[in-house]
Amino acid sequence: MPSLLSAMLLRLFNWFLFAAELARLVTRLAYTLAECAFRLLVPKQKKNVANSVVVVTGAARGLGREIARIFAELGAKVVLLDIDQARNNETAKSIRSDGGKGFSFTCDVTDEDQVKKVAQKIGRLIGEVDILVNNAGIAQSMPILNMNPNQIRRTMEVNTLSHFWTIQEFLPKMLERRKGHIVAVSSMAGLIGAANYTEYCASKFAIMGLMLSLERELAQSDEGRNIRLSTVCPAILSKGFECTGLPFLSTWFPSIFPSMDVQVAAQEVVTRILREEDVIILPASFSLMHRLSLLLPHKVGRLVQEYLDYMVFFIRSGLSKSGTPGVGLQCPRSPPLVSEGTAPQSRNWSCVVSAGSSLQAPEP
């Protein structure tokens, strides 16, 4: 009898603990939802980055270059990392000519030894890093059965493994100082698959997993909770992305699904980094579509993706699919392989930066 009573009391105690934890969870959920709703109406104030040290990988051109320029305009000390020494030096020189603080370091971010050496040099010559922007990335388009193992390996090294090497070098000092911000440039292709871009999508999905796991890992310590994380997922990109290996895109209804050129995208990215947003989807209209697709059954979500495929189309040689003038630029037929922030171009390309597109561009 006493053992039966003890078992009943233990069971009641367990139910009490469960109810208490559930009530705590519901309270925290309600508070967090209210906070998110409030931030939709009143955005968080942008932090001041004057004299902060900002490292940008893949900074020689494209999105990385523009992000670096904007941070420099805000008074940050911008450190440019890229394998393309000439273009990287030119970007740093341009920043300095505009009155900013730009420092160029040639570095292959896929080589952990090079990353380690350049991190030590940055700390010694410029200062401890406050914001790390992992932007370097490459892409190629072709069916999975046609992919070269070396190209697959290179894509994963540039797009994914480089994040590990830079984080391992710069995060320890951030934890020691109890401040820092790590930004990873992923893609909508890291949220939704895209035909003929399996290696690119896989590398970008991996970034999402890395950042989500890192968030949970940092939450386990007081020092880690002071580190901010942001993951950037651009969707429709138009002019200013020449020689990236991706087609230039437009939409049937640009007022609803606007395409973004590199300057506009970079400005939006930096603004939302300064507000410490954790996931940055561009353009904002795609954020709602993505969340909707997650709530729906897989087959229904796939229909949403197909709808987005229809909404997004190519611009080639400055002309849209309907023959009207567009905002796109013509890429050279055979750009070299490969520097950070650039990519090889395939003759059969498909829309990677729409949501799972399968439209095929005509052969040149």
The torsion of the CA quartet 192, 194, 199, 200, rounded to 10 degrees, works out to -70
**The pLDDT of residue 169:** 98
The answer, yes or no, to whether residue 29 has pLDDT greater than 50, is yes
Report the alpha-carbon distance of residue 96 to residue 255 in Å, rounded. Answer: 37
Which tens digit of pLDDT belongs to each residue from 192-203? 887 788 999 999
Range of 162-171, 243-252, 259-268 with top mean pLDDT? 162-171
Binned at pLDDT 50, 70 and 90, residue 255 comes out as low
Regarding beta strands 101-106 and 77-82, do their DSSP bridges make them parallel or antiparallel, or are they unpaired? parallel
**The pLDDT of residue 274:** 98
339 versus 221: the higher-pLDDT residue is: 221
Task: State the amino acid at position 53 in one-letter form.
Answer: V
The answer, yes or no, to whether residue 108 has pLDDT greater than 70, is yes
Residue 179, H or E segment: none
Two structure tokens written together for 23? 């009530």
Contact 194, 247 (CB under 8 A): no
Q: What is the pTM of this model?
A: 0.78
Which backbone phi and psi does 228 adopt, to 5 degrees?
-95, 145
Mean pLDDT of 337-352: 35
Contact 258, 250 (CB under 8 A): no
227 versus 44: the higher-pLDDT residue is: 227
60 versus 260: the higher-pLDDT residue is: 60
The answer, yes or no, to whether residue 311 has pLDDT greater than 60, is no
191 versus 141: the higher-pLDDT residue is: 191
The answer, yes or no, to whether residue 328 has pLDDT greater than 50, is no
**The pLDDT of residue 287:** 78
**The pLDDT of residue 259:** 67
Angle in degrees, CA 238, 241, 243, rounded to 5: 130
**The pLDDT of residue 31:** 86
Binned at pLDDT 50, 70 and 90, residue 296 comes out as confident
CA neighbor of 100 nearest in space, from 129, 128, 70, 127: 70
Report the alpha-carbon distance of residue 56 to residue 88 in Å, rounded. Answer: 11
Mean pLDDT of 277-293: 82
**The pLDDT of residue 237:** 62
The helix/strand/coil state of 194 is coil
Mean pLDDT of 295-313: 68
Q: Is the peptide bond before 78 cis (omega within 30 degrees of 0)?
A: no
Q: How confident is the prediction for the chain on average, in pLDDT? A: 80
**The pLDDT of residue 36:** 77
Binned at pLDDT 50, 70 and 90, residue 266 comes out as very high
Identify the weakest region by mean pLDDT among 55-64, 71-80, 266-275, 346-355.
346-355
Mean pLDDT of 239-248: 48
The answer, yes or no, to whether residue 122 has pLDDT greater than 80, is yes
**The pLDDT of residue 102:** 97
Domains of the chain: 53-235+259-293 (3.40.50.720)
Angle in degrees, CA 308, 40, 227, rounded to 5: 95
Q: What separation, in Å, do the N-terminal and C-terminal C-alpha atoms of the chain show?
A: 86
The helix/strand/coil state of 184 is strand
Binned at pLDDT 50, 70 and 90, residue 236 comes out as low
Report the alpha-carbon distance of residue 308 to residue 31 in Å, rounded. Answer: 34
CB neighbours of residue 20 within 10 Å: 10
Two structure tokens written together for 301? 């979500």
Residue count of the chain, please give it.
Answer: 364
Two structure tokens written together for 203? 């590398």
Binned at pLDDT 50, 70 and 90, residue 238 comes out as low
Catalytic residue ranges: 200
Report the alpha-carbon distance of residue 306 to residue 286 in Å, rounded. Answer: 14
The answer, yes or no, to whether residue 357 has pLDDT greater than 70, is no
Regarding beta strands 248-251 and 312-316, do their DSSP bridges make them parallel or antiparallel, or are they unpaired? antiparallel
The answer, yes or no, to whether residue 364 has pLDDT greater than 70, is no
Which backbone phi and psi does 36 adopt, to 5 degrees?
-65, -40
Query: Three-state SS across 234-297?
Result: ECCECCCCCCCCCCEEEECCCCCCCCECHHHHHHHHHHHHHCCCCEEEECCHHHHHHHHHHHCC
Which tens digit of pLDDT belongs to each residue from 147-164? 999 999 999 999 999 999
Report the alpha-carbon distance of residue 248 to residue 258 in Å, rounded. Answer: 13
CB neighbours of residue 53 within 10 Å: 21
Contact 84, 57 (CB under 8 A): no
CA neighbor of 120 nearest in space, from 173, 57, 51, 176: 173
